[in-house]
Amino acid sequence: MPTLSGRGRRPTLGRGSRRSRLPYAEAVSPVIRAARLEDVPVLAKIYGHAVRESVATFDVTDPPLSYWRERLSSAERGDHLVVVERDGTVAGYACSSRFRPRPAYARTRETSVYLLPDAVGQGLGSLAYSHLLELLRADRMHSAVAVVAEPNPASVSLHESLGFELVGTLREVGRKFDQWVDTRWYQLRLEP
């Protein structure tokens, strides 16, 4: 069973729930915990891979390490950065931050999740993201918004399986690797 540490809560996995069917369930015990300052190098490594190898992010150069330290230091309600550890090593993270800076957006968070390439397809993304959404609900955030650059079938499946609704597609709003990239916009209402 997955375990949680740090600020996280132990998940309640009902019989037959999605997460109870995840392939790692009997093999290893992933841990979800709040990211710490010492995780900054691995956070940068995980994200840097996506920067260089994919259109999943529209960054084209690695952000400085100070970017991660600033994210970690945010005390704003609804801002979270959680890591998922596999065999004691950080394999990915999920994070939330303000959707837009203006005050009326305060209870909407933009959410994201990234894993190391050798950690994908094992349920770790779902695990980290589910935990993040629980934190947002506990914070009384109202809505989560995720932007998925196409093509990204794993991210599309992940968001749809967690209940996100496709609310629109922006055509050719990004240009990376000499090609135009569409973004799918997903939204999840966190409160009834």
Ligand X SMILES: CC(C)(COP(=O)(O)OP(=O)(O)OC[C@H]1O[C@@H](n2cnc3c(N)ncnc32)[C@H](O)[C@@H]1OP(=O)(O)O)[C@@H](O)C(=O)NCCC(=O)NCCS
Closest to ligand X by CB, 6 or 121: 121
Among 120, 139, 143, 182, binds ligand X (CB under 6 A): 120
20 belongs to the binding site for ligand X (CB under 6 A): no
Stretch 30-69 residues interacting with ligand X (CB under 6 A): 50, 56
Q: Binding of ligand X at residue 121 (CB under 6 A)?
A: yes
Looking at beta carbons only, is 82 or 124 nearer to ligand X? 124
CB of 72 to ligand X, least distance (A): 19
| 161 belongs to the binding site for ligand X (CB under 6 A) | yes
133 is a site residue for ligand X (CB under 6 A)? no
Binding residue for ligand X (CB under 6 A) from 35, 82, 136, 148? 148
How far CA 116 is from CA of 92, 104, 113, 174, in Å, comes to 6, 35, 11, 23
Sequential DSSP letters for 114-172: EE-GGGTTSSHHHHHHHHHHHHHHHTT--EEEEEEESS-HHHHHHHHHTT-EEEEEEEE
* CA separation for the pair 3, 24 (Å, rounded): 12
Q: What does the block give as tokens for 124?
A: 């770790």
**In the bound complex, what is the minimum distance in angstroms from residue 155's beta carbon to ligand X?**
4
Total residues interacting with ligand X, rule: CB under 6 A: 23
Residue with tokens 């997460």: 19
